[in-house]
Chains A and B, each alone.
Chain A
Amino acid sequence: MAVLFCILSFLLFAFPKGTRSFFYYVSKPIWTGRDSFINSIQNVGNYFVSKNSLAKENMSLQDEVASLRLKELDYDILQRENAELKNMAGMTTNQNRILSRVLSKPPTSPYDTLVINSGSAEGLVKGNKVYLSGNIIIGVVTDITPHTSLVTLFSSGEETQSSVLERTGTSYDLSGRGGANFSLEAPKDADILWGDVFVYPGSTSSVIGSVYYIDSNSQSSFKTVYIRTPGNVFSTKWVYVEKTI
Chain B
Amino acid sequence: MTNIYLRMLLFIIVLVCVIILPWWLSTLILVGLTVYFSFYLEVVFFGFLFDVLYEGNFVFPYKGLILSLIFLLVVMTVRKRIRI
Binding site for B on A (CB under 8 A): 1, 4-5, 8-9, 11-13, 16, 19-20, 23-24, 27, 30-31, 34, 104, 106-111, 113, 115, 142-143, 150, 152, 156
Q: How far is the CB of B66 from chain A (nearest CB, A)?
A: 9
Contact, CB under 8 Å: B54 / A111: yes
Contact, CB under 8 Å: A12 / B48: yes
A residues near B58, Cβ cutoff 8 Å:
12-13, 16
Contact, CB under 8 Å: B44 / A27: no
Contact, CB under 8 Å: A108 / B65: no
Which residue on chain A has the smallest CB distance to residue B73?
A1
Interchain CB contact (< 8 A) of B56 among A9, A30, A142: A142
Which residue on chain A has the smallest CB distance to residue B44?
A4
B residues near A24, Cβ cutoff 8 Å:
53
A residues near B48, Cβ cutoff 8 Å:
8, 11-12
B22 at the interface (CB under 8 A from A): yes
B residues near A11, Cβ cutoff 8 Å:
48
How distant is the Cα of A34 from the Cα of B55 in the complex, in angstroms?
Answer: 21
Closest 3 CB pairs of A and B: A110-B23, A107-B22, A109-B54
Interchain CB contact (< 8 A) of A113 among B19, B49, B56: B56
Cβ proximity bits B40-84 to A, threshold 8 Å, 1 near / 0 not: 010011001111111111101010110001001000000000000
B21 at the interface (CB under 8 A from A): yes
Interchain CB contact (< 8 A) of B45 among A8, A30, A107, A110: A8
Contact, CB under 8 Å: B55 / A111: yes
How distant is the Cα of A78 from the Cα of B81 in the complex, in angstroms?
Answer: 71
Most chain B beta-carbon neighbours within 10 Å: one of A13, A24, A30, A111? A111
B37 at the interface (CB under 8 A from A): no
A residues near B19, Cβ cutoff 8 Å:
27, 30-31, 104, 108
Q: How far is the CB of A235 from chain B (nearest CB, A)?
A: 14
B16 at the interface (CB under 8 A from A): yes
Contact, CB under 8 Å: B20 / A113: no
Interchain CB contact (< 8 A) of A5 among B50, B56, B65: B65
Contact, CB under 8 Å: A109 / B53: yes
B5 at the interface (CB under 8 A from A): no
How distant is the Cα of A111 from the Cα of B27 in the complex, in angstroms?
Answer: 13
Which residue on chain B has the smallest CB distance to residue A30?
B19
Listed by A's residue number, 9 A-B pairs whose Cβ atoms lie within 8 Å are A1-B41, A1-B72, A4-B41, A16-B58, A104-B53, A106-B23, A110-B54, A142-B57, A156-B56
Contact, CB under 8 Å: A5 / B22: no
How distant is the Cα of A217 from the Cα of B35 in the complex, in angstroms?
Answer: 43
B24 at the interface (CB under 8 A from A): yes
Which residue on chain B has the smallest CB distance to residue A7?
B48
